[in-house]
Amino acid sequence: MAHVPQIRIPATYMRGGTSKGVFFRLQDLPERAQVPGPARDALLCRVIGSPDPYGKHTDGMGGATSSTSKVVIISPSTQPGHDVDYLYGQVPIEGAFIDWSGNCGNLSSAVGPFAIANGMIDPARVPRDGLCTVRIWQANIQKTIVAHVQVANGEVQETGDFELDGVTFPAAEVQLEFIDPADEGDGDGGGAMFPTGQLVDDLDVPGVGMFKATMINAGVPMVFVEAAALGYDGTELQGAINEDKAALAKLEAIRAHGAVRMGLVADAAAAAKRPLTPKVAFVAPPRDYVSSSGKPVKAADIDLLARAMSMGKLHHAMMGTASVAIATAAAVPGTVVNAAAGGGTREVLVFGHPSGTLRVGADVKQVDGAWVVTKAVMSRSARVLMEGAVRVPGDAF
């Protein structure tokens, strides 16, 4: 076999929130991979180590979980009033494709720090000490994210005392604002935020059952069902779900049929080609439980219990985009999420997830009878884990 040398591609390995991924500047990718298409997808799959029938990502940068099988491409923004364009790819562990259909709310927290550190922000706007505001165009969903990044001595501050459940060590807080996070879409019957036109639908899943479901598009398309309808109490940790193949199949069926009802796919079978979105989650009223780290979570300290699926598995904490959807749905009286949180109106919510708790907020209002969300807010942290270059075989793409 002819010798094929490896190529070097400048890259940064970053944690953002409870996720981590490989970040690239668009200009650093090989020319063929700077545009959408098979070459780009093949290259980035090889970087991560997918497809991997062993499910380990041993021969790549991925961590063999939905939270660590991610790639990000950053470029100077093409949009007026924005600093950078942020394109996110979810890489299936065993699939030879990349899902570009949604955003990663967790990695969104690393985009501002990356942009500042890589000289993509006007130096006149970067304070010696204080907060630097970075306006991000989320290219997957065509939305604006505003990141408030701490700066010390003219550089991104990464260390600090902000603790985020699901992340082992404290770091510097990054405040995120998701502006107008609902997808406008082309749907009818009540507005984009609720694609079916209803706050609660009866979702019929053949062979599984009928479920009261809130299907919302805010941050990411989400299908929310009641934990009790699945036989759960909302305190479940990863092992209870991910080691139960029947449960995984049931939740995937709910997700697939929700995708059809939301108008995202033509039929349930097509949902398999779109594993990133929509996401399915189950919610329940507060109760005491012990998080995956062993820390007690008291019912009195939370408004809601929430568990979400990501790429076919129960997420170890909560996806950032799903947190936007939770905050938004909880703010609208009558949704499944709002009911689990005790009803009424609320702008701020603390929910319990497998790793602990998270505080999120959303501003919603009714316009001509339809609910809209103007902004969702949360805090995350981010940190560079390694920077330099990744290597891939020259014939990988």
Catalytically active residues are 104, 319
Q: Residue 51: how many CB atoms within 10 A of its CB?
A: 14
For residue 276, what are its two tokens? 């990133």
Cα–Cα distance, 158 to 113 (Å, whole number): 9
Cα–Cα distance, 332 to 355 (Å, whole number): 26
| Local structure of 49: helix, strand or coil | coil
